[in-house]
Amino acid sequence: MSPIIDISQAISILQLGEVVALPTETVYGLAARIDQDKALEKVFTTKNRPFFDPLIVHVQDLTQAQSYAHWDEVSLFLAQAFWPGPLTLVLKKKEGQISDLITHAGPTVALRCPQHPLFQAVLKGLQIPLAAPSANLFGRTSPTTAQHVIDEFHSQVHVVDGGPCDMGIESSVVQFDETESKLFILRPGVIGKKDLEEKLLQKKFKVSVEFRNQNNAPGFLKNHYQPSVPLILVYESSQAQGDRSYLELIKDFISPEIELKEWQLPCEPSLAARQLYGDLRHFSENGEAIYLSIPELWAEDDRWQGLMDRLLKASHATLAFKDKWLLSSTT
């Protein structure tokens, strides 16, 4: 039996306390009702995800989100500005409203209002939020098509096919700290530091936007999203233009049986993001090692932050030129 289902079937299955994979504008999510602990547990066990890694709660709109968290005025403004869309806000949770399975019994909850019409239709049908991590095995590449979900879970998980995801990388996760008046980017995504700064300035908020790595959450660990073949990032350098001697270093680093191929990503960040995870899956299936040239601009430009974060986490080594090519392992 095909695991593809339609919206009304998805609603019925979720009502019964089961999990369903749904498309969002970022990546496909593995959804469960937030009031069904059995289904929430199944999200973790299906993905092989440790219970200490908290889930994002997907809401229909800001009104629904207000039932679950205490909102400061900066977070409220950001939700009004970017929702529905790929921005997740971490807020102080309202006690007794959210299962400890979602937050790992912590004081905060991550909330996001997805833009995808099919996900929205399911939320409207249920009138209850859905917890949904990316629909992939823990630590692996996130799915951006229904077929990716099927390749990962076969007939074990029903999936609503919403076509390829528009954005292709996960939402930006942010948290406002009122005492420091700082907005921390916990996970970069399509919405970048500059986008956030510009919006906050429009409203004359005196808030600085900074990156903060969370070491206790797997989504923020050094390695994640990894393909099962070596990925090497080569930082382009004006001093070493046209010099391909690094290929020898890569060949020494990877096993000699693996074929080495150059990966070409579009030079436009939204197109590159859309292609990223599908390409990584393809390379894993083909068993090819890959190297990708990173133009200097990508490491500096705000619009490439989300992509650079995923590329680094997926990589096994980087090569940079300092008088000569130097390879550093990233695993």
Residues that bind Mg ion in the complex, under the rule CB under 5 A? 134
Quickly count helices (H) and strands (E) in the chain: 12, 17
CA distance 244 to 236: 11
Q: Which residues contact 67 (CB under 8 A, 6 or more apart)?
A: 94, 97
To 10 degrees, what angle do helices 117-126 and 7-15 make? Answer: 40
Q: Which residues contact 234 (CB under 8 A, 6 or more apart)?
A: 246, 291, 292, 293, 294, 318, 319
Residue in 14, 18, 29, 294 binding ligand TXA, rule: CB under 6 A: 29
The count of other CB atoms within 10 Å of the CB of residue 41 is 15
The CB-of-26 to ligand TXA minimum distance in angstroms stands at 3
Contact track, ligand TXA, 200-229, x by CB under 6 A: -----------------x-xx---------
CA distance 89 to 99: 18
Q: Which is nearer to Mg ion, 134 or 172 (CB)?
A: 134
Contact status: 90 vs ligand TXA (CB under 6 A): yes
CA quadruple 179, 82, 313, 24: dihedral sign:
positive
The DSSP result for 27-38, as a single string, is: S-EEEEETT-HH
Strands (E), 170-316: 172-177, 182-187, 208-211, 231-235, 260-263, 289-294
Q: Which is nearer to ligand TXA, 107 or 242 (CB)?
A: 107
Q: Which is nearer to ligand TXA, 54 or 269 (CB)?
A: 54
The CB-of-109 to ligand TXA minimum distance in angstroms stands at 5
Cβ–Cβ < 8 Å for 166, 157 = no
Q: Which is nearer to Mg ion, 249 or 312 (CB)?
A: 312
- Contacting range for ligand TXA; rule: CB under 6 A; set: 2-10, 59-67, 109-117, 252-260: 109-117
23 binds, among Mg ion, ligand TXA, none (CB under 5 to 8 A by kind): none
144 binds, among Mg ion, ligand TXA, none (CB under 5 to 8 A by kind): none
Secondary element (H or E) of residue 134 = none
Contact status: 55 vs ligand TXA (CB under 6 A): yes
Q: Which residues contact 32 (CB under 8 A, 6 or more apart)?
A: 14, 18, 19, 39, 40, 42, 43, 130, 131, 132
Q: Which is nearer to Mg ion, 134 or 318 (CB)?
A: 134
The CB-of-264 to Mg ion minimum distance in angstroms stands at 25
Q: Which is nearer to Mg ion, 75 or 134 (CB)?
A: 134
Residue in 35, 53, 236, 302 binding ligand TXA, rule: CB under 6 A: 53
> Which residue type, as a one-letter code, is found at position 90?
V
Helix (H, G, I), strand (E, B) or coil at 135: coil
Secondary element (H or E) of residue 181 = none
Residue in 46, 60, 88, 318 binding ligand TXA, rule: CB under 6 A: 88
The CB-of-143 to Mg ion minimum distance in angstroms stands at 10
Q: Which is nearer to Mg ion, 98 or 169 (CB)?
A: 169
- Contacting range for ligand TXA; rule: CB under 6 A; set: 22-30, 32-40, 249-257, 314-322: 22-30
The CB-of-209 to ligand TXA minimum distance in angstroms stands at 17
Residues engaged in binding ligand TXA (CB under 6 A): 24, 26-27, 29, 53-56, 86, 88, 90, 103, 106, 108-110, 112, 114, 132-134, 170-171, 173, 186-187, 217, 219-220
